[in-house]
Amino acid sequence: MKGCQKIIGLTGSIGMGKSTVAGMLREAGVPVFDADATVRALQGPGGALLPAIEAAFPGTTGPDGVDRGKLGAAVFGKPEALARLEAIVHPAVAAAREQFLAQHCDSPMVVFDIPLLFERTGRGGMDAVVVVSAPAPVQKARVMARPGMSEARFADILAAQMPDAEKRARADYVLDTGTSIEETREALAKVLERINHLDGNAA
């Protein structure tokens, strides 16, 4: 993953604010690779992964693509099933990420927004990793407000992710999103300033 620019990883557990911070980065003109959006495109209507997913999890796809509620019920809380789904999805996401990098080679900085950066992707080739984090009760309140969420689904997803404390410990920069959006925006600007002063490119 040798790049021509600084590569920043953005990660964090469910509901910690990755997408919100990724939006702020896009507004600032930084190209952001969105792993979740890539998954959704590959699983959407006519998506390249539909045949493989239907074969592995019969009844979870249709003309509108993957039924995310059904597929989620088939894999969250079932580590073996989740691993089978990941084996179908992750290689395609990795290929899309490489393509993104090549497309944005002339940009001084790119961001990889990857929920499972520490768990699966690894930080190889990245110059810095930013972890978004908020107190557990804030995280829970955000997630429980989402349609289709239940205590059990939330617990299953949390169990499939590295604990927040461990992510924080591995981060180069921790961005607190338990504050106001404006405070997070200001903290992000400071982090970007520090990253801009880092020497050299990805190894």
Ligand X SMILES: Nc1ncnc2c1ncn2[C@@H]1O[C@H](COP(=O)(O)OP(=O)(O)OP(=O)(O)O)[C@@H](O)[C@H]1O
Ligand Y SMILES: CC(C)(COP(=O)(O)OP(=O)(O)OC[C@H]1O[C@@H](n2cnc3c(N)ncnc32)[C@H](O)[C@@H]1O)[C@@H](O)C(=O)NCCC(=O)NCCS
Footprint of ligand X (CB under 6 A): 12, 14-20, 36, 115, 142, 177, 179-181, 184
Q: What angle do CA 23, 69, 19 make, to 5 degrees?
A: 10
Q: Residue 177 annotated as binding?
A: no
* CA distances to 87, 89, 149 from 120, in Å: 11, 12, 24
Q: Residue 17 annotated as binding?
A: yes
The tokens of 199 are what? 């020497």
Q: What's the closest the beta carbon of residue 132 comes to ligand Y, in angstroms?
A: 11
Site string for ligand Y, 129-168 (x = CB under 6 A): ----------------------------x--xx-------
**CA–CA gap between residue 190 and residue 176 (Å, rounded):** 12
Contact by Cβ (8 Å): 191, 130: yes
Q: Does 72 bind ligand Y (CB under 6 A)?
A: yes
Contact by Cβ (8 Å): 61, 141: no
**CA–CA gap between residue 198 and residue 191 (Å, rounded):** 11
Binds 3: which of ligand Y, ligand X, none (CB < 5-8 Å by kind): none
**CA–CA gap between residue 120 and residue 132 (Å, rounded):** 17
Binds 20: which of ligand Y, ligand X, none (CB < 5-8 Å by kind): ligand X
Query: What is the total residue count of the chain?
Result: 203
Q: What's the closest the beta carbon of residue 194 comes to ligand Y, in angstroms?
A: 26
Q: What's the closest the beta carbon of residue 196 comes to ligand Y, in angstroms?
A: 27
Q: Which C-beta is closer to ligand X: that of 36 or that of 119? A: 36
Binds 181: which of ligand Y, ligand X, none (CB < 5-8 Å by kind): ligand X
Phi/psi at 182 (nearest 5 deg)?
-65, -40
Q: Which C-beta is closer to ligand Y: that of 41 or that of 116? A: 116
* Interaction site with ligand Y (CB under 6 A): 14, 35-36, 39, 66, 68, 71-72, 75, 82, 85-86, 89, 93, 115-116, 157, 160-161
